[in-house]
Structure 1
């Protein structure tokens, strides 16, 4: 950042400025779903307690259950990192501001500005914490004083599905002589939207390998 730009942030001695893309999940995910169903995919909503409940209706399962993989895949290495943010109406804010380790940020969007945030490892609480909200607003107003005039303040809480590393691999489940091919695809933490396209392509490649396995091991009479 230039000296002139840094004058807006007198408590900082240096900064970086750049142009980037911002993807809003609330709009992007419905678009992806519409694209998928438009290509002929069938969307079903169903609660399951065990991956085997999907057999024999499905030969291959892609497990994207996130934190649900603690139970569905028996993966106790996955854990939540709680995030609490505020959504406010402040249409005059046009540039994002991110401070330090990323726990303080201001992200303008199409219909609201996101103020954050928290990174609470192992916390499953989905209820907003009023004290945390006050702290977020105070810290963000220190960065951008005009936010004192923000209105329509809403609290949002989410759990990021984290683990020591993303699990993107095949697994063959066997029970009572039956086989179920699974492609695990979860554990992206807070970076899922950033790497989703490449990660999905790799998952699709693994699914193709599973299809090849089925075609070469299952008798033609059963295909």
Structure 2
């Protein structure tokens, strides 16, 4: 065996886990069926804020761990794709945010003049905003620098990965539904519209926990990301023109130039929702130890480094 660990899955969860393991002197190989540009992670808006990820207490701890790592990476935004950006989480009271509010420096209640019409409360904070088109290749380079290997291949089964290395980490996201198999993993479809930025430099999000239609405006180097949707059990990945029009219409009141901004791109991603994230070890039939790390819903970027650290601890404990 050439590898100590096979990480199955090359999205943000798989790559951060692989980097964490490789930088702790493990010989790591990533099996990724798709190039990073075709993963769900590439569609992510990239805001570091817990969203649709459970269990809440553990997710907050993972998120704060990731927050600190991403904040450090924001010192090199052109290399890492991470910037610190001010913004508002609407329909949110700081007292309801618990340890997330306590752990994010400067997080405070939004003043009335900082909220758009129709919103009675909100939280203001300066948090990492990640350009996934830059961040994912950064993680691939960092993995290579640590001696890790990335292979474009599909795992026919977890046991097949276990025959290639004594340790396996399953970071397959929605793919875990069939690979494990785990029917508790379900898609939550998200559609976004990317437009030319008319001059917006702060983020805004209004996304209730169970709402199918959300509103967010995220300034990225490649354009302004407008969203979105959160439709459970929808597998369609083709953008819907009517949905795109509705997204632009919902976002337009926040800036006078949005309604006429030139559309650059439409994208759809399927968030890998699960009632709770699965991070736990399991012995495969062939004898290899598999650590599962999937089911992060809409919070993959936010919890990535925290979950990677926890998965790495389980790998260390098992071998």
Calculate the TM-score normalised by the size of structure 1. Answer: 0.86
Aligned residues: 206
Runs of 4+ in structure 1 deviating by more than 6 angstroms, as ranges, are none
Equivalent position SS for 1:98: strand
Is the 1:90–1:149 contact (alpha carbons within 8 Å) kept by the matching residues of 2? no
Q: Note the alpha carbon deviations across 1:1-35, whole angstroms, 9 max, x for none.
A: 444444xx333344443322212222111111101
Q: Which residue of 1 aligns with 2:251?
A: 140
Instruction: Tell me the C-alpha RMSD between the 2 structures.
Output: 1.7
Q: What's 1:40 paired with?
A: 147
Shift of 1:77: 0.5
Partner residue of 2:260?
Answer: 149
Q: Which moved more, 1:189-198 or 1:92-101?
A: 92-101
Q: Which residue of 1 aligns with 2:308?
A: 200
1:152 offset after TM fit, Å?
A: 3.5
Aligned to 1:31: 138
The corresponding residue for 2:218 is: 107
- Deviation of the 1:50 alpha carbon: 1.4
Higher RCO, Cα 8 Å, sep 6+: 2
Greater Cα shift, 11-20 or 123-132: 11-20
Q: Matches of 1:23 and 1:55 in 2, distance apart?
A: 33
Q: TM-score, normalised by structure 2?
A: 0.61
Query: Compared with structure 1, are the counterparts of its residues 74 and 134 closer, same or farther at alpha carbon in structure 2 (3 Å cutoff)?
Result: same
Work out which of the residue numbers 8, 11, 14 in structure 1 matches 2:118: 11
Q: What does 1:151-190 align with in structure 2 at a 5 Å threshold?
A: 151-174=262-285, 178-190=286-298
Retained in 2: the 8 A contact 1:91–1:112? no
Distance 1:126 1:3 in 2: 38
Question: What residue ranges of structure 1 are gaps of 5+ in the alignment?
Answer: 212-223
Q: 2: distance between equivalents of 1:5 and 1:40?
A: 47
Check if 1:88 corresponds to 2:195.
yes
Provide the rounded CA distance (Å) in 2 between the counterparts of 1:5 and 1:72.
46
Deviation string, structure 1 residues 50-77 (Cα, Å, up to 9, x no partner) = 1222242211110001111112111110
Partner in structure 2 of residue 220 of structure 1: none
Structure 2: which 5+ runs fail to align? Answer: 1-109
Q: Secondary structure at the match of 1:155?
A: strand
Which stretch of structure 1 is more off in the superposition, 34-43 or 21-30?
21-30
* 3-state SS of 1:71 partner: helix
Q: Residues 13 and 74 (structure 1 numbering): CA distance in 2 closer, same or farther, change over 3 Å?
A: closer
